[in-house]
Amino acid sequence: MSIIKKVIILFLISFSLMMLVSNETNKLTQTTIETLLKEKYIQVSEELFTYLSNNDTANLQKKLAELKFKTVDNKKHYINSSNTLYEYKTDLSVIKILKHEDNKYLLYMKYLDDDILVIDLSQNEIFKDKEFLNYMILADILILIILSLIILKMIYPLKEISKSIKKFGEGNYSLRIDNLSHDEIGEVSKTFNSMALNIEELITSRQRLLRDIGHELKTPISKSKLAIEMIEESKYKKILKKALSEIDEMTSELLDIEKLNANQHRFNLEKFNAETLISESLSKLFIEDETSVEVLMESNFDIHADLNYLSIALKNLIDNGLKYATEKPVFIIVKDRNISVKSKGEKLDKPLKFYCEDFTQGDNSRSKKGYGLGLSLVKRILEKHNFKLSYQYDNGFNVFIMAI
């Protein structure tokens, strides 16, 4: 999960918790206010009821002013649009504490035919404190949002840096990161750009060198092949012809490995079947005795890949089998989306990974032809296709398996 997603998730969690706390705090504050006002109204009603029952209007108004209470006109409207929080009745009197729809608390008292509806003016101060608390919570939420946006803005360049590094790894070596910030992320961008420049120069120099070497080798090889054709047939002609073919093959494989290592390859993906792949691979080999290779097609299946590159990989496996087999034939087995090359011989004395390194050969290969490039190229081609190469030794046979 990316850092940006983590920050967004943490923000949503924090925001949800803040809203929950705000809601619960508001409920608790409201309940506390109602409780305090209810207790106050009950206490005040006892004092005011004395004046109401005695019809002492002057002292009643004086007491209301002293308690910071005010008489409310239009009693019927307020009573009808209010909820009753508390009610006490006798045969002669009624006392009610009401909550109006505009969130104001009222005290209603009635004795016989005389009634009065009053409101505590000091409750406005209480509600102002509540509103201030709500504003503070809202301010905290706004600060949380602003802080999250600032953090996202600060770390957003990391996403661009990640994309740039990925593209660079895919072979776009001229790519650079545009980040003008002067913080640690800016330093990372500068360091990457410096590293990318050095790597681009090294890769460009190496590619130019290999292209020049390939060109310089291909020209004399072509001339030598042409000259050999003019020589009379002899065993020496065959030796020279085979040696030149092997040098030509080595040069091509070196260039292919370099292209794969530098991500300069351009796969031509197409659909073909295993039988076509085997035919293409065998056509790339110079096999004097066709009985030295036997194909066992237990099943045929479709493949989506670059036929040329994949046939080179299979060709190298078959070629290694022919070079190092103690007995012929070499078997090519097609079964369950696996293509296996099976040859009689001694078990490899080291793990497969060792033989997949460039210019690596086994101890018993000194007298054999080969350049130690075959398995290295096979492994790289299969990895670029997301295929897998494995090895097993089965009853005296070395078995190399291409899992497709």
Pair of tokens at residue 97: 């504490």
- At 150-187, the pLDDT tens digits run 887 777 777 788 888 888 877 777 888 886 677 777 88
Residue 158 covered by a domain: no
**Residue that terminates a domain, selected from 126, 156, 171:** 126
Check residue 359 and give its pLDDT: 55
Check residue 19 and give its pLDDT: 83
Whether the pLDDT of residue 367 is over 50: the answer is no
Residue 69 covered by a domain: yes
Would you tell me how many other CB atoms lie within 10 Å of the CB of residue 271?
A: 10
Same domain, 35 and 56: yes
Same domain, 337 and 233: no
Q: At what angle do helices 184-228 and 123-169 cross, to 10 degrees?
A: 20
Same domain, 291 and 313: yes
Mean pLDDT, residues 278-284 taken together? 90
Same domain, 110 and 15: yes
Domain residues for the domain of 46 are: 3-126
* Beta pairing partners, 114: 111
- At 98-125, the pLDDT tens digits run 888 777 889 888 888 888 898 888 887 7
∠ Cα 377 383 389 (to 5°): 75
Same domain, 305 and 389: yes
Proportion of the chain in helix, strand, coil states, percent, rounded to 5: 60, 20, 25
Residue 301 covered by a domain: yes
Which is more confidently placed, 372 or 340? 340
Q: What is the mean pLDDT of the chain?
A: 82
Same domain, 273 and 355: yes
Mean pLDDT, residues 225-230 taken together? 79
Would you tell me how many other CB atoms lie within 10 Å of the CB of residue 49?
A: 17
Residue 145 covered by a domain: no
Residue 138 covered by a domain: no
Residue 375 covered by a domain: yes
Residue 92 covered by a domain: yes
Helix (H, G, I), strand (E, B) or coil at 93: strand
Check residue 368 and give its pLDDT: 46
Which is more confidently placed, 340 or 380? 340
Whether the pLDDT of residue 229 is over 90: the answer is no
Same domain, 277 and 360: yes
| Total tally of structural domains belonging to the chain | 3
Strands 397-403 and 338-344: antiparallel
C-alpha 249/C-alpha 373 separation (Å) is 10
Residue 237 covered by a domain: yes
Same domain, 208 and 285: no
Same domain, 385 and 273: yes
**Residue that terminates a domain, selected from 232, 258, 284:** 258
**In this structure, what CATH number is given to the domain that contains residue 233?**
1.10.287.130
pLDDT > 90 in the chain, percent:
18
Which is more confidently placed, 274 or 167? 274
- Residue whose pair of structure tokens reads 């091509």 in the numeric block: 252
Whether the pLDDT of residue 47 is over 70: the answer is yes
**Residue that terminates a domain, selected from 258, 288, 310:** 258
Same domain, 385 and 291: yes
Same domain, 397 and 273: yes
Report the range of poorest mean pLDDT among 48-62, 100-114, 156-170, 290-304: 156-170
E strand spans, 129-273: 269-273
Would you tell me how many other CB atoms lie within 10 Å of the CB of residue 323?
A: 15
pLDDT > 70 in the chain, percent:
91
Check residue 317 and give its pLDDT: 93
Whether the pLDDT of residue 2 is over 80: the answer is no
Whether the pLDDT of residue 322 is over 60: the answer is yes
Same domain, 77 and 103: yes
**Which helix (H) or strand (E) element contains residue 109?**
strand 105-111
Check residue 111 and give its pLDDT: 86
Mean pLDDT, residues 295-302 taken together? 92
How does DSSP assign 250-298, residue by residue?
Answer: HHHHHHHHHHHHTT-----EEEEEHHHHHHHHHHTS--S-GGGEEEEES
**In this structure, what CATH number is given to the domain that contains residue 375?**
3.30.565.10
pTM score of the predicted model: 0.48
Which is more confidently placed, 204 or 104? 104
